[in-house]
Amino acid sequence: MIQSKIIRPFVEINLAEHCNLTCALCDHYAPFLPEKYADIEATHGDLMALSTVLHTNHLLLLGGEPLLHPEFDEFCRMAKSVQISHQLVLVTNGILLHRMSSEAWQMIDGIRISRYPGVKISVKRKMLEAQARKYNVWIWESDVKMFDITESTAEITDQCLRNTIFTNCLMGHICNTIHDGRYYRCPPSVFIQTRLSKRGVELDNHKEDSVMIQNNSNLKAELEMLLFRSDPLEACRYCLGGLGRKEPHKMLNKKESQQIIGLPMEQEFNYSEIREDFVYCNATK
């Protein structure tokens, strides 16, 4: 029964880690990741194991860009069959919407489209609305002109500040991620090790910030410990969560992306990275 299970608002799966856009402040780090697709069989095993102890309102298929996955229809069919969520939702930049088959439209319940400056979706609005009515799929569009800075340029050593970041981080409280056989508390914690390694910093946060899913006889208890903990994650040492400043959206060219991932870490945390409308203690600007 669902009543006896852990209930989560959103759980996401990165169908493709890479993307067809190069958004500079992507918190999934997609512009810097190699081509990689979620394995259907492995993910099916994860969802089946999770479904015995957890239910989510929305299972989000995203990336990167999820419509890049060569077996997108099969993935939707598998995810729908497990019945771990009330709704199956596609999160996309809209560039490849014309690829969606009628079968995919029948299986999903909603589409969240992020519209970026200068980027056109591949399906005209009238046709998109007609498809939505035909298949009873809700459409939610957002104009993304600003991005939150989530990546810190130095380790955040101020414990009070880390607590403030964690407490105010919406991602860490409502949205979890399934990735490579593990269940993560928040999306940025999945790729932060990769981010830091490209800047010469070692951080092994996977065991601390996630739970092994399959063949785990203590799965529910470990998930509850992870999801309801009150202390910051290991990833919070280098993540601004929802506390970072906002910057205008920007696409990176190849040269810019190489320059960014090659930047060394700074010696001390720069408090100017934090939004001015937040109040926190024990931090000297």
Is the pLDDT assigned to residue 193 strictly greater than 60?
yes
55, β-bridge pairs: 7
Strands 110-115 and 85-92: parallel
Distances (CA, A) of 223 to 68, 79, 83, 130, 280: 30, 20, 19, 41, 29
Convert the pLDDT of each residue in 162-185 to its tens digit. Answer: 999 999 898 889 999 999 999 999
37, β-bridge pairs: 16
pTM for the model stands at: 0.94
Reported confidence tier of residue 285, pLDDT bands at 50, 70, 90: very low
| High-pLDDT (> 70) share of the chain, % | 97
Convert the pLDDT of each residue in 36-69 to its tens digit. Answer: 999 999 999 999 999 999 999 999 999 999 999 9
Q: Which domains does the chain have, with CATH numbers?
A: 7-272 (3.20.20)
Query: 11, 186 in Cβ contact below 8 A?
Result: no
Convert the pLDDT of each residue in 214-263 to its tens digit. Answer: 999 999 999 999 999 999 999 999 999 989 999 999 999 878 877 777 77
Q: What is the pLDDT of residue 28?
A: 87
For residue 168, what are the contacts with CB-CB under 8 A and spacing of at least 6? Answer: 241, 242, 243, 278
Of 36, 45, 43, 42, whose CA–CA distance to 18 is shortest?
A: 36
Q: Identify the residue whose tokens are 């399959």.
A: 214
Q: Tell me the HSE value of 230 on the side-chain side, using a 13 A CA sphere.
A: 1
